[in-house]
Amino acid sequence: MTPYNSSSNKENCTPISSNCVIWQGPDIDCIDLCNGDSISDVLYRLALEVCAFQGEVGLSSVDLSCLIQVCNNTPAVPSTITIPIALNLLASRVCCLNDLIDNLPTPGTSNYEEPTLNLATCLRYTDPATGLLVTSLPESEYTTLLGLKLCDLTAVVTTHTTAIANLNTAVTALQNSTGYVPPTVTPKCVLPSVPTAMNTVLTAVETQFCALVTTLGTNPQLGAATASQCINLNSAPTLSGGGTMSGISGWNSTVTNLAQSMQNLWLTVCDMRSVMNGLLTCCSQSDCTKFVLAYTVSTNVGRTAVTLYFNPGSSLPVGYVDCNVLGSVVTITDGVGGIFTGRAILATEVGNPSGVTYTLPGTFNVSQTYTVTVAGCVKNSAGTQTCEKSIIVTNLPPCAIVTGVTATLT
């Protein structure tokens, strides 16, 4: 066939199909073109590659508006974007940013404004001068605060590291030890006084303590024994002389432990021994054996008066009179602070069936138990022989009378 150069002389050529023209060049693997392919296949594969390339390098969907947001001298983005236009915009933006960086204010100069940074939650603190919570700081102060916190953490870590190392050493020593060896102590009484393992001494102490509890009683039992002192013993008259028990030297008016209770017990025993000595002296003579002191107690309805009946029950030796012309001492108490002291002439009252009545002061609590103590003392007419006896009688308050009961059944 004869080739032609332009469309003006193609009529002079003999038309031939492109399918009949054969590619006689080398194989081109990237477009899958082989020697011997028709020109139609060659042009088709080239066209596909061109279309694919056009799709890959097309810039119509690229948003380049950000390239002109900071720099005012950056060219406007045209509607149709080509590679040269995009490269030109990028170059303009780079140059603009370079100028901005060169013109940034230098820290320490007058036109430099230090930025303020928000503090992390764990770094916030209360200003001691204003009492307000600080949530942001200038950059330099923020940096200083971080440095101080880092130093604190470093100190804590160093301390913990040392402690961990010491603990590791201790644990290693414990792991390597042959076992626990209890220390030795030297007992004084529970075992022979020689160095002995502490656990052995402890076992002996426990054994001795249990035996002591068995002998003395438990703490509740000791407490109950301590509280067993006679009611109103503090205000009771002494048996061996004038005054009350609380007036005895060394007496404990308030008993809170066994030692105080024992002290009061011994003082009471000594008081009783003194009386017993007098009784032995008295009773060695026949007339004191005839001195009998006994009486009953009654009260009026309001319990404002107390009557003592010595007849029958009491008796005096013939010829004996009261040691005191006023009579023997009568003491009445209500147990809560009320106290009355009177006299009873036994020589008269022993034969008086009407009894002797005492009007109590208004301070008495009529709902309490009354304790009546008569310290009897008689002597012979010559005054050479004295007989003493003390008797205590209690008078309980009457029980409340139930006048009616109302019940509701549901």
DSSP 214-265: HHH--HHHHHHHHTTSPTTTTTSBPSSSSSBGGGSTT--SS--SHHHHHHHH
* Domain boundaries of the chain, sorted by first residue: 14-57, 65-102, 115-126+134-177, 223-283, 286-395
DSSP 25-70: S--BGGGTB-TT-BHHHHHHHHHHHHHHHHHHH--TT---GGGGSS
Burial class (CB in 10 A: 0-12, 13-18, 19+), 306: buried
The stretch 88-104 carries a mean pLDDT of: 69
Q: How far apart are CA 119 and CA 144, in angstroms?
A: 12
Closest CA to 374 of 318, 310, 311: 310
Tell whether the model's pLDDT for residue 1 goes beyond 60. Answer: no
Tell whether the model's pLDDT for residue 392 goes beyond 90. Answer: yes
The stretch 122-131 carries a mean pLDDT of: 91
Closest CA to 291 of 330, 271, 324, 319: 319
What pLDDT sits at residue 75? Answer: 62
Closest CA to 91 of 117, 104, 73, 109: 73
Residue 312: is the preceding peptide bond cis (ω within 30°)?
A: yes
Q: Which two tokens stand for residue 32?
A: 């899958």
Confidence of residue 270 (pLDDT cuts 50, 70, 90): confident
Q: Could you give the count of Cα atoms lying within 13 Å of 325 in the half-sphere of its Cβ?
A: 0
Give the chain's mean pLDDT.
Answer: 82
Q: Which two tokens stand for residue 66?
A: 């950000």
Within its chain, how far is the Cα of 127 from the centroid? Answer: 32
What pLDDT sits at residue 300? Answer: 93
Digit-coded pLDDT (tens) for 104-124: 666 666 667 788 889 899 989
- What SS3 state is found at 334? coil
* Domain 286-395, CATH number (from 3.10.20, 1.10.3470, 2.60.40, 1.20.1740): 2.60.40
Tell whether the model's pLDDT for residue 410 goes beyond 50. Answer: no
Q: Name, in order, each residue with C-beta under 8 angstroms of 157's C-beta and a sequence gap of 6 or more.
A: none
With tokens 């928000």, the residue in question is 118
Digit-coded pLDDT (tens) for 363-381: 999 999 999 999 999 998 8
**Which one has a higher pLDDT value, 105 or 321?**
321
357 sits in which H/E element: strand 356-359
**Which one has a higher pLDDT value, 95 or 58?**
95
Q: Name, in order, each residue with C-beta under 8 angstroms of 298's C-beta and a sequence gap of 6 or more.
A: 306, 307, 309, 355, 395
Tell whether the model's pLDDT for residue 384 goes beyond 50. Answer: yes
Handedness of CA 215, 220, 223, 229 (dihedral sign): negative
Q: Which two tokens stand for residue 268?
A: 């009471």
Comparing 155-159, 216-220, 295-299, which segment has the lowest mean pLDDT?
216-220
**Which one has a higher pLDDT value, 55 or 164?**
164
Digit-coded pLDDT (tens) for 10-30: 566 667 787 788 878 888 888
Digit-coded pLDDT (tens) for 154-212: 999 999 999 999 999 989 888 887 777 889 999 988 899 999 999 999 999 999 899 88
Percent of the chain with pLDDT over 70: 79
What pLDDT sits at residue 245? Answer: 86
Q: Which two tokens stand for residue 135?
A: 């949530």
